[in-house]
Amino acid sequence: MREREPDVTAPAAVAGPVTEIVRVAGAHVPQLLARVEERLAELATGHGPVLAEYAGATIAAGGKRLRPLLVFLAAGGSGDHDSAGLVRAGVAVELIHSATLVHDDVLDAAPLRRGVPTVVAQGGRRAATATGDLLFARAFAELAANDRADEVRILSDASSALAEGELLQRADAWDTTISLPRYLLRCELKTARLFQAACQLGALEAGADAGAVEMLGAFGRRIGLAFQILDDVLDVSGPVARTGKHRGTDLLDGTITLPFILARQRDPRLAAIDPRAISAPLDAERVCDRIEASGALEAARAQALDMVTAAKGHLPAELDDRQRAALTLVANGVVARYA
Amino acid sequence: MREREPDVTAPAAVAGPVTEIVRVAGAHVPQLLARVEERLAELATGHGPVLAEYAGATIAAGGKRLRPLLVFLAAGGSGDHDSAGLVRAGVAVELIHSATLVHDDVLDAAPLRRGVPTVVAQGGRRAATATGDLLFARAFAELAANDRADEVRILSDASSALAEGELLQRADAWDTTISLPRYLLRCELKTARLFQAACQLGALEAGADAGAVEMLGAFGRRIGLAFQILDDVLDVSGPVARTGKHRGTDLLDGTITLPFILARQRDPRLAAIDPRAISAPLDAERVCDRIEASGALEAARAQALDMVTAAKGHLPAELDDRQRAALTLVANGVVARYA
């Protein structure tokens, strides 16, 4: 399943790190984030009452705005760039993210997202599919105003990757033989590429050279991989009070993730399980317990930590201390969120 | 319901006009269309086996390629422009169109499209939603290579309009009080804006001045409106052998179209019908008969013809005879298709 946004505890879980990031990176960051919120609210209400009704609540209900934050921190500085361009880039990546969430909710027939009724619950599948398409289209309209074809290409490649990741996940559903590289490819497509794009867009808008753009992109990509792995761990570990859903939804969904892949190597009884036979939430919880008992969660967390360490290694040498500290905090925050 | 592509007879129905258009516009047009086909086939196979399996068939099965044709005819000339840019624009508009068709099929759970199994029939809702998203993203990636922010903005605005049209259609479903302007707004959003965008993109790539770009866009918009009105007429008139589906699918779907709006003004018994009570295809066919008997279909066709006449009036004075003749043929072809 795509990275989820725990309804209840996510804001609290990131509030600490975000405050810290802002302290380190400077006051322009919350100002830019506030402008993203304003613009998202404008877009939600500027396309007719139907969109406002359906998408307004979803967009306004927020989320961590981690992708816009990456745009701004990758840009660095202290608000001395063309900030309109940065805000547009931040809005664009958040809109793409929102579009995929709306489409995910259609497919999952999910009743709630970020604590508010989903578009599909409010308006039905047809309205929700169209709403996702509209958010998608608005992302490109927003970014087009930056007048940079390279930025549009980065965003469209990241959007293609998201869709390809979803297709790959469907193609691999229930297949317990999928390899670790195949799993990582899916994480890359579904999650890491948009993180990468966020960092690249920020760096480009700040006028960074090609090398720095590439390295900041590589940083974002690694952070995204770690983020997805830890999200997959959370699906097994819970707690339910934090995630707002049963443990093992990936198992029920046929999505084979790193914890299950690693646990099957460690526990022959898990290796013998056909995930298609797991049909009830309670069965899934029992399998989660076994996965946890195998030590696979620690092993998966360790892989995510390695990714974060590798991410920090991609930070270009020329960053100033402030920018380096802020990006390092985000990297650590991804881990802390799941600690 | 969005403009449909009759599976059986559409190619035959447009083959005549297209051949004629090519004769008038020049040999570069079929060459450009062939390059669009090549590129679409490349894209279908270039994003992994999953996309190739799902979207390949849909894309390869064709369609009229009316939107790319409009791009090329709006560009005019005889192949003397940067044709790579034109081909990319043609591919982009066709990809957006295909993306919406794939999403429509998900929502309609349609088994066939253009005579081949739909993505949703092959791969399920999740794969089909992702496939539509991917085609959408690829459209922007394709157009971004033209390095023109104005073109990206035109495409994203048209894509937004498509989604807004779908939302409007859902919001207005079953509402028999909707006005003619409201109906036309929906046609504009769902269909006309992408026709308009196709013409604008072609004109921009050909280096037309702002006035000509706007007028060619207005031409495309009117043609699109006529196209959608005539498609709505076809849903009532049939014949089934031509459309490949029951008459009255719009009625069953709650979509109030021009024929029904006009017929209700003419026939009090139709005005008394609650479309929610029409639940069986045979009931819908009987209502179609009554609509036809009211003379509403002729009245709707007359409105479409007026649109086509108005469209021709938008053709800029500076067009050469060849380009004017070709665009006039397309305009007439839209009508002929439904004659």
B243-297: per-residue pLDDT in tens?
767 889 899 989 999 999 999 999 999 999 998 988 888 889 999 999 999 999 9
Q: Which of A50-54, A197-201, A307-311 has the lowest mean pLDDT?
A: A50-54
Strands A116-117 and B112-113, how do they pair?
unpaired
pLDDT of residue A16: 54
Mean pLDDT of A232-257: 86
pLDDT of residue B183: 96
Q: Which of A8-17, A24-33, B283-292 has the lowest mean pLDDT?
A: A8-17
Domain A10-332 part of CATH 3.10.105.10:
no
Confidence at B45, pLDDT banded by 50, 70, 90? confident
Q: In angstroms, rounded to a whole number, what is the distance separating the alpha carbons of residues A64 and A100?
A: 15
Q: Which residues pair with A116 in a beta bridge?
A: A113
Put simply, the chain B residues between 93 and 132 with a CB less than 8 A from any chain A CB are: 99-100, 103, 106-107, 123-127, 129-132
Q: Which two tokens stand for residue A25?
A: 């990176």
If residue B38 lies in a helix (H) or strand (E), which one and from where to where? helix B28-45
pLDDT of residue B119: 74
Q: Which of A130-144, A314-328, B47-61 has the lowest mean pLDDT?
A: B47-61
pLDDT of residue A62: 62
pLDDT of residue B145: 92
Residue B133 has pLDDT above 50, yes or no: yes
- Interface contact flag, B149 A147, Cβ < 8 Å: yes
Could you tell me if A189 lies within 8 Å of chain B, comparing CB atoms? no
pLDDT of residue A106: 78
ipTM over 0.95: no
Residue A108 has pLDDT above 80, yes or no: no
Of B103, B152, B162, the CB nearest to A152: B152
In angstroms, the Cα distances linking B280 to B108, B231, B254, B277 are: 16, 21, 13, 9
Q: Which of A227-231, A278-282, B49-53 has the highest mean pLDDT?
A: A227-231
Task: Identify the residue whose tokens are 């996309």.
Answer: B51
Q: Which of A75-89, A186-200, B110-124, B321-335 has the lowest mean pLDDT?
A: B110-124
In chain B, residues with a C-beta closer than 8 Å to the C-beta of A157 are 137, 141
Specify the pTM: 0.88
Mean pLDDT of A53-73: 80
Mean pLDDT of A265-271: 94
Q: Which residues pair with A113 in a beta bridge?
A: A116
Are B78 and B28 in contact, with CB atoms under 8 Å apart?
Answer: yes
pLDDT of residue A61: 62
pLDDT of residue B9: 31
Could you tell me if A160 lies within 8 Å of chain B, comparing CB atoms? yes
- Interface contact flag, A50 B164, Cβ < 8 Å: yes
Confidence at A17, pLDDT banded by 50, 70, 90? low
- Interface contact flag, B130 A167, Cβ < 8 Å: yes
- Interface contact flag, A125 B107, Cβ < 8 Å: yes
Task: Identify the residue whose tokens are 């390092």.
Answer: A328
- Interface contact flag, A50 B171, Cβ < 8 Å: yes
Write the secondary structure of chain A as one string of H (helix), E (strand) and C (coil): CCCCCCCCCHHHHHHHHHHHHHHHHCCHHHHHHHHHHHHHHHHHHCCHHHHHHHHHHHHHCCCCCHHHHHHHHHHCCCCCCCHHHHHHHHHHHHHHHHHHHHHHHHHHCCCEECCEECHHHHHHHHHHHHHHHHHHHHHHHHHHCCCCHHHHHHHHHHHHHHHHHHHHHHHCCCCCCCCHHHHHHHHHHHHHHHHHHHHHHHHHHCCCCHHHHHHHHHHHHHHHHHHHHHHHHHHHHCCHHHHCCCCCHHHHHCCCCHHHHHHHHHCHHHHCCCHHHCCCHHHHHHHHHHHHHCCHHHHHHHHHHHHHHHHHHCCCCCCCHHHHHHHHHHHHHHHHCCC
pLDDT of residue B20: 78
pLDDT of residue B16: 54
pLDDT of residue B3: 47
Structure-model confidence comparison of residues A338 and A235, the more confident one: A235
Strands B116-117 and B112-113, how do they pair?
antiparallel
Residue B323 has pLDDT above 50, yes or no: yes
No. of helices (H) and no. of strands (E), chain B: 17, 2
Report the CATH fold assignment for B10-336: Farnesyl Diphosphate Synthase (1.10.600)
pLDDT of residue B72: 95
Residue A192 has pLDDT above 50, yes or no: yes
Mean pLDDT of B141-157: 94
Residue A137 has pLDDT above 80, yes or no: yes
Q: Sketch the domain layout of chain B as residue ranges.
A: 10-336
Residue B8 has pLDDT above 70, yes or no: no
Q: Which two tokens stand for residue A36?
A: 């993203």
pLDDT of residue B62: 62
Residue B13 has pLDDT above 70, yes or no: no
- Interface contact flag, A163 B134, Cβ < 8 Å: yes
Put simply, the chain B residues between 42 and 81 with a CB less than 8 A from any chain A CB are: 47-51, 54
pLDDT of residue A12: 34
In chain A, residues with a C-beta closer than 8 Å to the C-beta of B127 are 166-167, 170-171
Could you tell me if A148 lies within 8 Å of chain B, comparing CB atoms? yes
Q: Which percentage of chain A shows pLDDT scores above 90?
A: 60
Average pLDDT of chain A?
Answer: 86
Say how many residues make up chain A: 339
Mean pLDDT of A62-74: 89
- Interface contact flag, A47 B164, Cβ < 8 Å: yes
Structure-model confidence comparison of residues A120 and B206, the more confident one: B206
Mean pLDDT of A227-248: 86
Of A49, A99, A170, the CB nearest to B127: A170
Q: Which two tokens stand for residue A133?
A: 């398409």
- Interface contact flag, B166 A50, Cβ < 8 Å: no
Q: Which percentage of chain B shows pLDDT scores above 90?
A: 60
- Interface contact flag, A163 B130, Cβ < 8 Å: yes
Of B123, B148, B156, the CB nearest to A140: B156
- Interface contact flag, A164 B134, Cβ < 8 Å: yes
Main-chain phi, psi angles of A246, to 5 degrees: -55, 150
